[in-house]
Amino acid sequence: MPFFKRESRRQRGEAASDFNRKLIAPMILGSIINPINSSVISIALIPIGTAFHALPSETAWLVSALYLATAIGQPVVGKLIDLYGPRLLFLVATSIVGLSGLLAIFAPNLWWMVAARVLLGFGTCAGYPASMYLIRTEADRTGQRSPAKVLTILAVSNQTIAVIGPTLGGILIEWGGWQSAFLINVPLSIACVVLGYFRFPKALRRDPDKKPPLIDVAGIVYFSVTLLSALLYLMNPHWNTVYFLALAAVFGVLFVRREKRTEQPFIDVSVLGGNVPLLLTYGRSLLAAVVTYSFLYGFTQWLEEGRGLSPSGAGLLLLPMFVTGLLISSATGKNPALRAKLTAGGFILFATCVLLLAVRSTSPIILLVAIALLLGIPQGLLSLANQNAVYYQALPEQIGASSGLLRTSAYIGAMLASAANGLFLQSGATTSGVHHLALLCVATGAMLLLLTLLDRSTLKLGQSLPS
């Protein structure tokens, strides 16, 4: 139940026809914090491992820590944004980002850095749900039920920052060491706080006739323990850690029972469980993330260790992937039909994973560039299509939590990829290890393609709404 009373169009006068452009800058800045840190750390893993004498299986925690915190925090903060609006939560969260950057810069050991990445993960939780919330409220205000242009801007901005992230990370590392790769969080945090304070709308007057919403603390705790336990097992799948699965199952049952019985649940599992198209979108997002992040982290480390490239050289070689993704999203963003994007993206993703099996330590640069170019196509198609699918499939009053769960599904995929990197590259980023990682990506790509083809709900998704 929304916490704030929304005035009707008649009460507030004639609604403006255009999206409030003052919101775009803080929306973009808040949503890019996570992808820029994801892309920069991919280049920094080898230098950090060298500095702290850590294996890839240990530095993998720098990736997992961020996504573990964010996977839990995104739907929680998204739900709070649905209830209270985005402004205060955005300001608090982005302030934490700056603090985490300072802690990482002065880290005395690897696990100090892992703690800083956990803090960073919680700090990035508000940006994307706040943006989706504002897009939905602005669509209601302007009467644009399908603001395709703004949704495309949001997706393209995230891909744009991913374009410069690896290159920027490589340049910063060679200029000032691995610590400088985290320095970017400080000015980003300051800019988000300033812009969010002056441009995000203040909370509307509370309706005195309605009771204030209750925060489902027990539901949040059960959800967090369930997800945390499952992810900890996935990070180290072994008979000695199987108790994490048992813990996840117990708290998962408690979570479902709690949400079905409480008046104001954290996640309405009855509605979510009945929304099969939305669940399938989360599944596609998870599978696509497994492939993308396996490539981003595993292939990048192999370029430095197995192929012998410098950090800046590895970053430059990733540019074609991100540039292609950016161009594809920009070119297809105005087309509201999503089925073709999802299908084409699935086919090309699968084919690229098969091609990855052909890489060798002596492979020509042109082959590596071609692989990066090809992977950029599904990156551009699938990320935009899944984001827009959630916009159409989620209930308007749950857009913050639903978009948070979309990011959670992607972060779970990223953690699975990180676990796979730790497993297959535990002795170093060898060519053999990359081939084993590629086999996992081939199987994942096949699952994604099959899921897409079987999902009939996407046939007319987005076509019936005017852009």
My answer on whether 336 and 201 are in the same domain is yes
Band of the pLDDT at 95, cuts 50, 70, 90? very high
Tokens of 402: 């639903």
Domain count, the chain: 2
Q: What integer pLDDT is reported at residue 255 of this predicted model?
A: 92
Band of the pLDDT at 262, cuts 50, 70, 90? confident
Band of the pLDDT at 132, cuts 50, 70, 90? confident
Q: What is the pLDDT of residues 144-154, one digit of tens each?
A: 665 677 777 77
Domain boundary among the residues 205, 238, 265 is at: 265
Nearest to 421 by CA among 324, 334, 316, 300: 300
Least confident of 38-47, 72-81, 202-211, 302-311: 202-211
My answer on whether 257 and 132 are in the same domain is no
Q: In this structure, is residue 171 part of a structural domain?
A: yes
Q: Residue 124 is part of which domain span?
A: 21-215+266-458
Q: In this structure, is residue 13 part of a structural domain?
A: no
Q: In this structure, is residue 16 part of a structural domain?
A: no
My answer on whether 92 and 210 are in the same domain is yes
Nearest to 382 by CA among 362, 402, 352: 352
Contacts of 460 (CB under 8 A, 6+ apart): 339
Q: What integer pLDDT is reported at residue 72 of this predicted model?
A: 84
Q: What is the pLDDT of residues 37-90, one digit of tens each?
A: 877 887 788 888 888 888 777 887 887 788 788 888 888 898 889 888 899 999
My answer on whether 181 and 235 are in the same domain is no
Greater pLDDT, 19 or 197: 197
My answer on whether 187 and 130 are in the same domain is yes
Band of the pLDDT at 10, cuts 50, 70, 90? very low
Q: What integer pLDDT is reported at residue 463 of this predicted model?
A: 56
Calculate Rg over the CA atoms of the chain.
Answer: 21
- pTM of the entire structure? 0.75
Band of the pLDDT at 2, cuts 50, 70, 90? very low
Counting every residue written for the chain, the total comes to 467
Tokens of 72: 């839990």
Q: For 204, list phi and psi in degrees, rounded to 5.
A: -70, 160
Q: In this structure, is residue 5 part of a structural domain?
A: no
pLDDT at 363 over 90: no
Nearest to 228 by CA among 423, 18, 415: 415
My answer on whether 275 and 172 are in the same domain is yes
My answer on whether 230 and 327 are in the same domain is no
My answer on whether 160 and 272 are in the same domain is yes
Q: In this structure, is residue 195 part of a structural domain?
A: yes
Q: In this structure, is residue 467 part of a structural domain?
A: no
Domain boundary among the residues 226, 241, 265 is at: 265
CATH assignment at residue 279: 1.20.1250.20
My answer on whether 164 and 240 are in the same domain is no
My answer on whether 301 and 444 are in the same domain is yes
Instruction: Determine how many CB atoms are found less than 10 A away from the CB of residue 305.
Output: 21
pLDDT at 347 over 90: yes
Domain boundary among the residues 265, 297, 331 is at: 265
pLDDT at 360 over 90: no
Q: In this structure, is residue 187 part of a structural domain?
A: yes
Q: In this structure, is residue 463 part of a structural domain?
A: no
Distance CA 343, CA 124 (A): 30
Which whole-number Å values give the CA distances from 200 to 24, 82, 102, 134, 285, in the listed order?
10, 15, 26, 9, 29
Cα dihedral 96→101→103→104 (10° resolution): 140
My answer on whether 158 and 242 are in the same domain is no
Asked if residues 225 and 49 have their Cβ atoms less than 8 Å apart, the reply is no
What sign for the dihedral angle of Cα 137, 141, 147, 151? negative
My answer on whether 240 and 159 are in the same domain is no
Greater pLDDT, 361 or 357: 357
Asked if residues 378 and 417 have their Cβ atoms less than 8 Å apart, the reply is no
DSSP code per residue over 394-427: S-GGGHHHHHHHHHHHHHHHHHHHHHHHHHHTTT
